[in-house]
Structure 1
């Protein structure tokens, strides 16, 4: 789940982190038979929207590549290497400082084999793969496969062998595999975790199996939003739309229309109740029009396309250019207007019809007339809603926008005396547009930054981004003081108190960002600025390192010293884990809590270190083999906590019981401190 800037109040809204057992990649593996001795293994991956699957043979030091392991290969031999059905997308990743290749939506891999003994054919192995989206990287997963003589036509294959002149089957060839073939541990009870430990080079279960007991129900009892994965992003889209509607009311295209429209309804009939009813219908019509527009956008582009926008560099460039266009419009370079014929036609329809139809056409006329002011606001709202990956986001955002826009027309119709206290139209309405233009320009840089990081251009490193934001908000402060004037601005005879306070806020924000040029974290804008590692000159060095990287050892230390535990499920390939460490863990209060009050255990779910002995478990009715340290910690996260996305944080007592709800990716430092302090409070109460 992504954050966004409520442009109109300069308020940072932190989206709630989400994590659950995610399965964004589904595999279909089959053995394609033929009448020849050559067969084809086809591995087809279907990838959820917004996710990607890494390609084979990535450079060392990067995320886990897709690979194919043949643990048993009898009665056949491999021909060549696996081949992908399409070319992978190549993107330079700043975190790994290398080009990464991945596939989206779907891809198939084919591996040719030559059957040498049809009756003794036996193929067993697995596909190892890793999937990521713009927020999470899942730990490496394995999809196992098994085929034998039942999957081919033995007689036809024997005939093909005879025709080839090979009447005797060849000695079975065993595929080279890097995996150990040591004796596996016993199968665990279904869905019950096995807690491995080292005892004379044998894998056994620890005495205190409570450490591995699932605590999913306990987390839910705490109201854990991360585990229950309740999607609350639509609430933020709705409130962003509502705020946008309130701001749209203050533009010169809408504000003067309020008294004119309300007066029209009150004078249209002597029956005040009917006038109020007409004004209410007018407001409802506005909501219906914008809501239908939002639904049409989702219908035209499709939910899957909207989900892909936030991860697509091309779309982020388009969004950047679009917001710059909106900013120029608000600055007065031009006006975004719809054809006058549309407005005239709807106006005539409103005059020639009666009843609800007439009111509906009047509402549509308002929508078209006010487009030059509301268009950029709506456009920004739709960009934000689409980039958050919520399928019905545009409709929800438009509903919030229309609701705020329609309230004054109904409210003033019910209480007409309030019209007299409304501020009169004037130059201040145009100033609202210009302020919005500056904010549009600042937000546009966020989308350019996403594309810059994706393509590795290094045009918008962190210090460049901060310099531009300092310039934008400093110029906004000068504009509010009347030191900058655009062609369509009215003369400013004096600076009003509201303008003075807004300019102070703008200058203060610009000054606040200056230390960021030397590496200060600037946590207020950490969700928007490029990562700290893109900065060339950095004087800031305050990192937190875990005391333990082993679950059992860390828990044993915590019990002996009577301290609570903070488990950090992370990964070498987890970009958002690094973001949390850079923007949240560097906070002095967070650092102090983690280092002094907690036993911090970081578990890397993509750690490829071999376990002393493989562990065979049964999970969800399917046998799996844990072979690496990363496999073990990933299984711990899934089975004990019911989640598999990183970053994932949970506080425990010495017996492995949760002290509160878990915490996922959310760079709000205050919320993270609250999460840690809540765990301490619960621990002390025990």
Structure 2
């Protein structure tokens, strides 16, 4: 428990950010009466040194222009033209190839409104703006003006989205005929806007070890690689790609040196993420069963559920999660060292300041791999894949700068990517809650309830993509892009695919993710015949129960073995888990095969031993394991200890065919998704018994 508490603390400290980057723009406001029906709303901004806030009239292909939003104007008042602005500055941004208009130090907006509803007393206006230094922040401030009292009350800065840069951009003065203007030259590395349940225990034979590796490291690597690439298309990461590449290429007289530095920058990103996995190797060395415990731990699954819900709400725009700004500042200062060490700290700064976008994706990586009982090696592989995916655009565009001309311009679509990711995180959150419910056998989140939640989530996602509603930080969508429309169709099609699951459809694409078919309010689906899988006249043996697909199974070794001796059939030991993904994949993808199912129903006695069963053992049956030295207090720990002691494995699933003398009829196997291979193994064992 102490080790688990340590892990929980580390994960909590890593996932939940504790502070926000300070707001570099301070606002005050007031209202001036122009006539009985016209009023002037005045907004004054004080901008910290070296920061720039962009005008309403700045080119939209560069930084995001300021926007004045009238929240309650319909039927109450009418804005008279656009807000008048105080003196602005202009400068050409080489990175985006546009002239930007912005303020330094101070800014003022004066917006005239005409009252059309005398009964209305309050005017609500939001200012959406972007302010940049080494970090770009998209702020949103809400103001309330009481036209009767002629005072203005600034409500509160309720959200702030960071788009971060890695190193301090140089500010240079550009001499013009009429005025001196200031421009960020982008000489900074900018942070762009961005179940497998097998064990690592050594098995009995070489062939078994290969089976236990069937969590397939390639799937883990490719999945996390895609996650890393995906987060590069978020507001915290994407805009930084051209700036960072330009910084490395332009700061060196030699292009080859610049390219080398940019590639080394990418390698540092990968290395930092891999280093984050090292503590898990220490945990695994202290306790070989630690990942098996993590993957089925009720409290940890609930913890991941809460983390994913928080991250999804953050992606929807309710609030911002960041790592403490002091860490970013220290890493940023260290990046000024120069040389390779400076580049390393620039990469570290990128990872810290882009956490608001990469954190949820990283949480998804950690949560998925830890819940798979894949061991520390797979955690490192996952972190390598994620880091490589995040670093690839920086390295590729550094090697081939001409490709940057094909990059899409930053815009509102970046926030759409975040929102879509938020929906996905919310859906996956319920997978962790389902794991906890399955382990405890509470039947609170049965198959129909789970599917109902997912159907609702992906239906709302489809409506969002089709433009039926917008989220807080979305830009207006005058028309649907082809990509957004196709993604909406995909979300809608997936929703339609889920619906038949309510009526008992197996949904094989989601095997192991949804609760099993027999963990349901109506195991045969709504409107099903409800016929019992075992004839009503047939009495179940003592200690037996009806399992998936109507198979009669035992969950106690002694009772199952005693029955097998009575009917003179071989025993199939099924070491499994309530929250084991690969176990469900075997049951729903392999056991459903007619030939396999016939053997399981007629030719063997199935004994399913759940390694994550949370039922407490009677005090007189509790004992100290001679294999692990731990006190065995639950039924699940008893069967895990039995498996480890007798078969030198803690893989789940793990299948053993044995005779009535309790000797193996053939080699045990772990996860075997190939139907013919598993069928051949069953047939061989039954033939050896006969």
Which band: TM-score by shorter chain? 0.5 to 0.7
Contact 2:305 2:433 in 1 (8 A): yes
- Gaps of at least 5 residues in structure 1 are 1-12, 22-215, 556-565, 607-633, 653-657
Q: Which residue of 2 aligns with 1:266?
A: 249
Q: Which residue of 2 aligns with 1:664?
A: 670
CA distance in 2, matches of 1:477, 1:674: 40
Alpha-carbon offset, residue 261 of structure 1: 0.6
Distance 1:527 1:248, change over 3 A: same
Q: Which residue of 1 aligns with 2:517?
A: 532
Pick aligned residue for 1:285 from 238, 263, 268: 268
CA deviation digits over 1:395-426, x for unaligned, max 9? 43322211221122122111111111122222
Does 1:380 pair with 2:364? yes
Contact 2:590 2:674 in 1 (8 A): no
CA deviation digits over 1:93-123, x for unaligned, max 9? xxxxxxxxxxxxxxxxxxxxxxxxxxxxxxx
Q: Which residue of 1 aligns with 2:628?
A: none
Contact 1:349 1:358 in 2 (8 A): yes
Q: Which residue of 1 aligns with 2:301?
A: 316
Q: Which residue of 2 aligns with 1:421?
A: 406
Distance 1:501 1:16, change over 3 A: farther
Pairwise mapping of residues 47-446 of structure 1 onto structure 2 (< 5 A)? Answer: 223-225=207-209, 229-230=212-213, 235-296=218-279, 304=287, 307-350=292-335, 352-389=336-373, 390-446=375-431
CA distance in 2, matches of 1:362, 1:289: 11
Alpha-carbon offset, residue 591 of structure 1: 1.9
CA distance in 2, matches of 1:680, 1:470: 40
Q: Which residue of 1 aligns with 2:573?
A: 569
CA distance in 2, matches of 1:578, 1:332: 32
CA deviation digits over 1:103-146, x for unaligned, max 9? xxxxxxxxxxxxxxxxxxxxxxxxxxxxxxxxxxxxxxxxxxxx
CA distance in 2, matches of 1:491, 1:456: 46
Compute the RMSD of aligned alpha carbons: 4.7
Q: Which residue of 1 aligns with 2:180?
A: none
CA distance in 1, matches of 2:650, 2:280: 33
CA distance in 2, matches of 1:415, 1:646: 46
CA distance in 1, matches of 2:581, 2:222: 30
Alpha-carbon offset, residue 275 of structure 1: 0.8
Distance 1:475 1:677, change over 3 A: farther
Alpha-carbon offset, residue 321 of structure 1: 0.7
- Gaps of at least 5 residues in structure 2 are 1-194, 526-530, 534-548, 554-560, 610-639, 659-663
Alpha-carbon offset, residue 490 of structure 1: 1.6
CA distance in 2, matches of 1:586, 1:300: 34
CA distance in 1, matches of 2:367, 2:424: 14
CA distance in 2, matches of 1:297, 1:575: 24
Alpha-carbon offset, residue 489 of structure 1: 0.9
CA distance in 2, matches of 1:434, 1:479: 9
Distance 1:449 1:679, change over 3 A: closer
CA deviation digits over 1:523-572, x for unaligned, max 9? 332312233344222335663658998699989xxxxxxxxxx973348x
CA distance in 1, matches of 2:516, 2:466: 33
Distance 1:419 1:231, change over 3 A: same
Alpha-carbon offset, residue 338 of structure 1: 3.0
CA deviation digits over 1:216-243, x for unaligned, max 9? 87xx5xx55456x458565554444322
CA distance in 2, matches of 1:280, 1:647: 42
Q: Which residue of 2 aligns with 1:472?
A: 457
Contact 1:253 1:373 in 2 (8 A): yes
CA deviation digits over 1:495-522, x for unaligned, max 9? 2333223222222222222222233333
Q: Which residue of 2 aligns with 1:482?
A: 467
Pick aligned residue for 2:504 from 489, 502, 519: 519
For residue 333 of structure 1, give the secondary structure of its aligned residue in structure 2.
coil
The alignment's TM-score, normalised by the length of structure 2, stands at: 0.53
CA distance in 1, matches of 2:650, 2:325: 55
Contact 1:343 1:368 in 2 (8 A): yes
Q: Which residue of 2 aligns with 1:447?
A: 432
Q: Which residue of 2 aligns with 1:595?
A: 598
CA distance in 2, matches of 1:521, 1:436: 26
For residue 568 of structure 1, give the secondary structure of its aligned residue in structure 2.
strand
Contact 1:659 1:679 in 2 (8 A): no
Distance 1:488 1:302, change over 3 A: farther
CA distance in 1, matches of 2:579, 2:237: 42
Contact 2:583 2:652 in 1 (8 A): no
CA distance in 1, matches of 2:315, 2:328: 22
CA distance in 2, matches of 1:531, 1:430: 35
Contact 1:477 1:507 in 2 (8 A): yes
Contact 1:568 1:647 in 2 (8 A): no
Does 1:500 pair with 2:485? yes
CA distance in 2, matches of 1:470, 1:416: 43
Alpha-carbon offset, residue 388 of structure 1: 3.0
Distance 1:466 1:233, change over 3 A: same
CA distance in 1, matches of 2:258, 2:581: 59
Once the two structures are overlaid, the 10-residue window that deviates more, 404-413 or 323-332, is: 404-413
CA distance in 1, matches of 2:217, 2:497: 31
CA distance in 1, matches of 2:292, 2:209: 22
For residue 495 of structure 1, give the secondary structure of its aligned residue in structure 2.
coil
Once the two structures are overlaid, the 10-residue window that deviates more, 285-294 or 436-445, is: 285-294
Contact 2:590 2:675 in 1 (8 A): no
CA deviation digits over 1:590-640, x for unaligned, max 9? 02454399984335488xxxxxxxxxxxxxxxxxxxxxxxxxxx9xx9999
Distance 1:356 1:526, change over 3 A: same
Distance 1:468 1:257, change over 3 A: same
Contact 2:316 2:471 in 1 (8 A): yes
CA distance in 2, matches of 1:659, 1:302: 34
